[in-house]
Amino acid sequence: MLDNLSVVLVRPRFPENIGAAARACANFGCPRLVLVAPERWEPDKALPLATPKGADILRRVEIFDELAPALAGFTFAIGTTARTGGWRRDLLTPAQAGPAAAAHLREGGRVALVFGSEDRGLSNAEVELCQGLANIPTQPDASSLNLAQAVLLLLYEAYLAARERPYTPGGRSKDRLATHAEQEMLFAALQETLADIDYLRPENPDYWMLPVRRLLGRLALRRGDFNLLMGVCRQVRGVAARARGRAGEGEP
């Protein structure tokens, strides 16, 4: 049910937590574990926590230097955060994140659940790469969760949602979902277009573009949508450039 779901751990500090996360993946049928710039990658220390069930997942682990290339082939990424406010808004609970992930899986997409390091979590730049952001509610005076515990909670909710509404091969469009890399191209084009028509505030534009990024994530864009919107951006930017040229020549 979660064949196209992956867990992505960004800068994990302890190999034991990586092993426990692999066990959680095995518990709920998530076949792929991805590491981004692990602080220490020692398979011998991770393997006992993975248990025999998670050993194969641990052996197949993929490692990247940065988050963006790790997410390139995915169609939807849900980041996680313990901090709230500012860049970290429109937060999903695990009970909301699970169905959101399952919905994209049913559409034939590839979904990543992204977790930051044990001590600092995800940076603002890494949060910006995720179309959705989840927060696990806890007691205010005990808000810190073990990394593998957080992985387990999100996978559990995704598994429940996928089990309640199983994937049916005949029910999805033949037009594939846009990949994360394509969505990033479209996002950059939209940002440039909105700046060209003076819609985007010049101060801290990345912050003001966050609602646009979340909107794109909710839309489950397909390749055809990507092509259409990229074409619209090109046309709008062309019109804006011609308008600026006429203004520079003194035309009304």
Residue 85: phi, psi to the nearest 5? 90, 160
Report for 135-139, 150-154, 169-173: range of highest mean pLDDT: 150-154
Instruction: Give the pLDDT confidence score for residue 169 in this predicted structure.
Output: 47
* pTM assigned to the model: 0.73
Give the integer Cα–Cα distance in Å for 147 and 154. Answer: 11
Instruction: Give the pLDDT confidence score for residue 82 in this predicted structure.
Output: 83
As given in the structure block, the two tokens for residue 216 are 């794109």
**Residue 85: pLDDT band by 50, 70, 90 thresholds?**
low
Per-domain boundaries in the chain? 5-171, 180-248
Q: Class of the 5-171 domain?
A: alpha beta
Give the integer Cα–Cα distance in Å for 8 and 33. Answer: 6
Instruction: Give the pLDDT confidence score for residue 21 in this predicted structure.
Output: 97
The residue that leads in pLDDT, 171 or 213, is 213
* Segment 190-205, tens digit of pLDDT: 888 988 888 887 777 7
Mean pLDDT of 71-79: 93
* Segment 39-66, tens digit of pLDDT: 999 999 999 999 999 999 999 999 999 9
Instruction: Give the pLDDT confidence score for residue 171 in this predicted structure.
Output: 45
Give the integer Cα–Cα distance in Å for 220 and 19. Answer: 32
**Under a CB-based contact definition with an 8 Å cutoff, are residues 84 and 56 in contact?**
no
Given a cut of 60, whether residue 173 has pLDDT beyond it is no
**Given the structure tokens 């302890």, which residue do they identify?**
14
Given a cut of 60, whether residue 116 has pLDDT beyond it is yes
Given a cut of 60, whether residue 32 has pLDDT beyond it is yes
Mean pLDDT of 98-122: 92
Instruction: Give the pLDDT confidence score for residue 170 in this predicted structure.
Output: 45
**Residue 28: pLDDT band by 50, 70, 90 thresholds?**
very high
CB atoms within 10 A of CB 164: 10
* Segment 150-159, tens digit of pLDDT: 999 999 999 9
Question: Among 91-95, 144-148, 211-215, whose mean pLDDT is lowest?
Answer: 211-215
Hey, what CATH topology would domain 180-248 get?
A: Helicase, Ruva Protein; domain 3 (1.10.8)
As given in the structure block, the two tokens for residue 41 are 């990658």
H/E run at residue 62: strand 62-64
The residue that leads in pLDDT, 222 or 99, is 99
Percent of all residues in the chain with a pLDDT value above 90, rounded to a whole number: 51
Give the integer Cα–Cα distance in Å for 101 and 130. Answer: 12
Given a cut of 90, whether residue 115 has pLDDT beyond it is yes
